[in-house]
Structure 1
Amino acid sequence: MKVIIDTNVFVAGLIWSGKPSQVVSKWLSGEFELVLSAELLAEYVEVIERLSKNSELASHWQETLIKRATFVAVTQTVDVCRDPNDNFILALGLASSADYLISGDKDILSISDFPIKIVSPATFLLEVFRGH
């Protein structure tokens, strides 16, 4: 199963306990394939470094992601999100044929009629792992 985790969920999963943390743990234990683009990786690393103020932590996660995630080149653009800055993650979803896009962003979550299931961390855990 191919899954894209929006930056807000991934970073929250590293910092706090709760549903985002459970999603990241499921990925780390190999229960789904994390799909990234170079742009999404750069955003993850930038936000981890900015919030943690720890470049070593950001480098650690960058290396982990490079080793463990599946990278997809995004060659198309989409224009479906209220926030145009979020369209790149939707384009990644199409390019990768992802099964899920997990987000906590209301602009992304409000999108309907998109070929990829766009869900919150709680909904993903409920649908795929029966809430665990």
Structure 2
Amino acid sequence: MRIIIDTNVLVSALLSESAPPGQLLAHWRQARFRLLSCADQLEELRRVTRYPKICARLSPALAGRLVNELSGLAEMIENLPSVDVSRDPWDNYLLAMAQVGEADYLVTGDKADLLSLQRHGRAHIVTVRDLLGLLGQVLG
């Protein structure tokens, strides 16, 4: 299974390992799915984790460790095409990554812009809870 995790979900996972986003990252670390990422996402993760409201709740070392983990263990997608599908232009790189990386799922908490699309190419756009349910069925 090839999966993209939106940056908002990754940040939530850093804030609480026991919450559903943290559980999803644990499944990845246990090699239960292939995680796709790209340079744009790593840069977004670096930028977002420097916001004052995030820094107040998250150690920079923890954020840096996730960036290193993603760059070393995730399948890095390159040469993203221009995609103009989401109402939020900052989300279009995720859709481009889903397209080029032939993702099965794009996991997000973004109800207004991404979840409302439901699909992009072959990728189903789902919530963390939806994917955790699917993983539970697959892993039995």
Q: Unpaired runs of 5+ in structure 1? A: none
**Corresponding residue for residue 103 of structure 1:** 108
RMSD over aligned CA atoms reads 1.9
How many angstroms does 1:55 deviate by?
A: 3.1
**Residue 58 of structure 1: aligned partner:** 63
**Among residues 114, 129, 136, which one is paired with 1:129 in the alignment?**
136
Residue pair 1:49, 1:57 contacting (<8 A) in 2 also: no
User: Which letter maps to 2:11?
Assistant: V
Matches within 5 A, 1:23-42: 23-42=24-43
Aligned to 1:72: 77
Deviation for aligned residue 1:74: 3.3
TM-score (normalised: structure 2): 0.85
Percent identity among equivalent residues? 35
Instruction: Name the SS for the 1:130 alignment partner.
Output: helix
CA–CA distance in 2 between the matches of 1:75 and 1:31?
25
TM-score by length of 1: 0.89
| Amino acid paired to 2:49 | I
The answer to whether structure 1 residue 88 and structure 2 residue 93 are counterparts is yes
Quote the Cα distance in structure 1 between the aligned partners of 2:80 and 2:109: 25
Q: Give the aligned partner of residue 11 of structure 1.
A: 11
- Relative to structure 2, which stretch is displaced further, 32-41 or 61-70? 61-70
